[in-house]
Amino acid sequence: MAPIRILVVDDSVVIRKLLSDSLSADRELEVVGVAGDGRIALAKIVLLKPDLLTLDIEMPVMDGLTTLAEVRKLYPKLPVIMFSTLSEHGAAATLDALALGASDYVAKPGNTGSPQVGLERVLNELIRKIKALCGNAPVKLLPLPESHPASKGRSKLKPRIEVVAIGTSTGGPNALAEVLPRFGNDFPVPIVVVQHMPPIFTRLLAERLASRCAIAVEEGRAGALLCPGHAWIAPGNFHMKVTQTGLEWRLSINQGAPENSCRPAVDVLFRSVAAAYGANVLAVVMTGMGSDGVLGAQDICDAGGDVIIQDESSSVVWGMPGLVHASGLADGAYPLDHLAAEITRRVLQSRGSRTPLEIKSHATVGSPAK
């Protein structure tokens, strides 16, 4: 297989050399060119025909967001990974870039801990994302116990859904912006979400979603009482769990060891909702790289709950939902623009018969709310 051809775009000579040397050391990757600003990058795309761009946000002449907008006009399918800073400004600009059509992002190393360890983490993350976006990432099925639903079969009796749990990663911010605004403010159950993102990013994502949604959306916090018509997004660098005390369900957060190299991890959240709600769970695994969510989906299925996934054609990366599907744990796969309607249909039908018109009134199949 031919190596993935990469164009590195960054105004820092040091960063350009670092990325060029590090990426080219991998036999599956080839840096075919570098550019110090967006105007040069656009000219080089024509000549070099790269398979992927890494794109800095802060650059002279033509910055990353302006460059990205031009790239999307001319090359709508070209994967672009933003290279951003772990700051309030960097996080906001990254979310802007994702809304403009960036495929993913990697946060530059912060000022804490060992610089070398931070750099290695960033480079490893970047390489994994490049391979995933260009189709070279290996797909590995996780070992599941013989008793999991794919081999045993499950009861046809659908329990009443009391919570919706969502897990997503690469492409997730835009996917959530497509799904959550379609729920009405009378959505009858709480929603808990893990989106793989670092601190600051998750808070800003929650704030942006809240501005577009009829339901309330906020970053998860310890002790928050779960209530209908409200969504919580796990905070960056913290696992988020649901716990039951009497007739109440609340959130807890912790900094336990990463799972699947992730914190927050979908598996942690899914495992907790299976324990707290039993069969009364609808889990949704959306676009994302890696395997996070597969074992948690098994826990939900084993408890009697249901799992649905985003389909391959509408996913930026079909790693997480694809592995749930391959493991036999998915009860259905749906295009992104149908997910909200399907979630609403299942929730309402589980809680009493509703007419198609009533179900449609809770989740619009057209454009999400602005």
196, 230, 325, 362: the catalytic one is 196
Residue type, 358: E
22, 84, 103, 169: the catalytic one is 169
Q: Exposed, middle or buried by CB within 10 Å (0-12, 13-18, 19+), for 239?
A: buried
3-state SS class at 172: helix
> Which residue, among 43, 77, 87, has the nearest Cα to 61 in the 3D structure?
43
In the DSSP assignment, the letter for residue 146 is T
As a residue count, the chain comes to 370
- Contact (CB, 8 A) for 212 and 204: no
- Is 87 catalytic? The answer is no
Strand ranges in the chain using DSSP code E only, listed in sequence order: 4-9, 29-35, 52-56, 80-84, 104-107, 163-168, 191-195, 216-219, 230-233, 239-245, 248-254, 281-285, 306-310, 333-334
Give bridge partners of residue 168 from the DSSP assignment. 195
> Which residue, among 177, 167, 170, 148, has the nearest Cα to 284 in the 3D structure?
167
- Is 311 catalytic? The answer is no
Instruction: Please compute Rg for the chain using Cα positions.
Output: 21
What is the spatial distance between Cα 204 and Cα 88, in angstroms, rounded to a whole number? 8
- Is 148 catalytic? The answer is no
10, 37, 292, 302: the catalytic one is 292
Tokens of 196: 């793989």
Q: Which residues are known to be catalytic?
A: 169, 196, 292
